[in-house]
């Protein structure tokens, strides 16, 4: 079936504007993850959903960041009042599911959204 | 939180050479994955290997969970193997990535 898809693929926004990034996981995958990758760096974990719930939001960089998931499917990551430091590639992944708070399934990544804040 | 260290940070090989990439982690984990990030930024799953040994073509991986390390072997390297290799581990609820090994294979 189809893999993880993300939209838009590229987003250029002005400092101070809000942006919404979308992730469509693999059908049937109950767990969904958001990561951020700054240029030349590794991946930074932001948040994950088991179903529509996010057990741990402590990875979100600031209160300008929020995420939601509906219907155990699509997820949106919203960044309010964007700053230049938010410029990065935002990657989404999904997996079959978790047991309690333990991730025990292989993650599959989408192509990412490249966000540039000018 | 759990720490993940990868070595070497950079590796340059001649086509056809073999290499070993290492991933050390600081705590027991329930999951470990190796990824290849190609020059276009796409993360490709290589192995899901919280323990044991797996092989896929020219690539193989071994995780010794009790000693908290994993190794990725690349044999007969090709120029298309170039890119960054990431190790990622999960204990509970979040996956932590190492800083990666940047591999360049020269023709």
Residue B26 predicted with pLDDT over 70: yes
| Residue that wins the pLDDT comparison between B20 and A102 | B20
Using the Cβ of B100 and the Cβ atoms of chain A, whether some distance falls under 8 Å is answered with: yes
Residue B103: predicted pLDDT: 96
> Is the separation of the CB atoms in A4 and A113 below 8 Å?
no
Mean pLDDT taken over chain B? 94
> Is the separation of the CB atoms in B48 and A106 below 8 Å?
yes
Out of B69-73, B86-90, B91-95, pick the least confident.
Answer: B91-95
Mean pLDDT taken over chain A? 90
Nearest to B45 by CA among A113, A72, A4, A51: A4
Say which DSSP state A41 is in.
S
- Read off φ and ψ for residue B58, nearest 5 degrees: -80, -5
- Tell the CATH superfamily of the A5-111 domain: Immunoglobulins (2.60.40.10)
Task: Provide the number of CB pairs (under 8 Å) joining chain A to chain B.
Answer: 60
Both tokens assigned to A5: 């898809």
* Average pLDDT of span B58-68: 97
Report chain B residues whose CB lies below 8 A from the CB of A45. Answer: 94-97
Residue A64 predicted with pLDDT over 80: yes
Residue B78: predicted pLDDT: 96
Residue A101: predicted pLDDT: 59
Distant-in-sequence, close-in-space partners of A51: CB < 8 Å, separation ≥ 6: A30, A69, A72
State the Cα–Cα distance between residues A41 and A47, nearest whole angstrom. Answer: 18
Cβ–Cβ of B30/A103 closer than 8 Å?
A: yes
pLDDT tens per residue, range B91-105:
766 789 999 999 999
Report chain A residues whose CB lies below 8 A from the CB of B30. Answer: 102-104
Residue B8 predicted with pLDDT over 80: yes
* Average pLDDT of span B45-57: 95
Report chain B residues whose CB lies below 8 A from the CB of A26. Answer: none
Report chain B residues whose CB lies below 8 A from the CB of A111. Answer: 41-42
Count each helix (H run) and each strand (E run) in chain B, helices first. 0, 11
Residue B81: predicted pLDDT: 95
Mutate: best of A34, A43, A111, partner B, most B CBs <10 A: A43
Query: Looking at the domain that runs over B4-106, which CATH code has it been given?
Result: 2.60.40.10
Report chain A residues whose CB lies below 8 A from the CB of B94. Answer: 45, 48, 56, 59, 103
Residue A90: predicted pLDDT: 97
Domain limits of chain B? Answer: 4-106
Residue B17 C-alpha, separation from nearest chain A C-alpha, in angstroms: 26
Say which DSSP state A111 is in.
-
* CB-closest option in B45, B86, B92 to A43: B86
Using the Cβ of B91 and the Cβ atoms of chain A, whether some distance falls under 8 Å is answered with: yes
Percent of chain A with pLDDT over 90: 70
Q: Which pLDDT band holds residue A104 (cuts at 50, 70, 90)?
A: low
Residue A106 predicted with pLDDT over 80: yes
Q: Which residue in A has a C-alpha nearest to residue B98's C-alpha?
A: A42
Residue A30: predicted pLDDT: 87
């Amino acid at each position: 079936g189809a893999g993880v898809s993300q939209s838009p693929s590229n987003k250029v926004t002005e400092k101070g504007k809000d942006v919404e990034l979308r992730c469509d996981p693999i059908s049937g995958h109950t767990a969904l993850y958001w990561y951020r990758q700054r240029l030349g760096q590794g991946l930074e974990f932001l948040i994950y959903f088991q179903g529509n719930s996010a057990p741990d939001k402590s990875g979100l960089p600031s209160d300008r960041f929020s995420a939601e998931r509906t219907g155990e499917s699509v997820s949106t990551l919203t960044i309010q009042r964007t700053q230049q430091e938010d410029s990065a590639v935002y990657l989404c992944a999904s997996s079959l599911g978790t047991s309690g708070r333990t991730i025990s399934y292989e993650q599959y990544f989408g192509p990412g959204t490249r966000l540039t804040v000018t | 939180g759990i720490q993940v260290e990868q070595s070497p940070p950079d590796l340059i090989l001649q086509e056809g050479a073999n290499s070993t990439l290492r991933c050390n982690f600081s705590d027991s984990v329930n999951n470990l994955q190796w990824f290849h990030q190609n020059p276009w930024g796409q993360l490709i799953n290589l192995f899901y290997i919280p323990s044991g040994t797996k092989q896929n073509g020219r690539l193989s991986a071994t995780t010794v969970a009790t000693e908290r390390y994993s190794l990725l072997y690349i044999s007969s390297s090709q120029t298309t193997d170039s890119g960054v290799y990431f190790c990622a581990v999960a204990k509970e609820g979040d996956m932590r990535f190492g800083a990666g090994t940047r591999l360049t294979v020269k023709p």
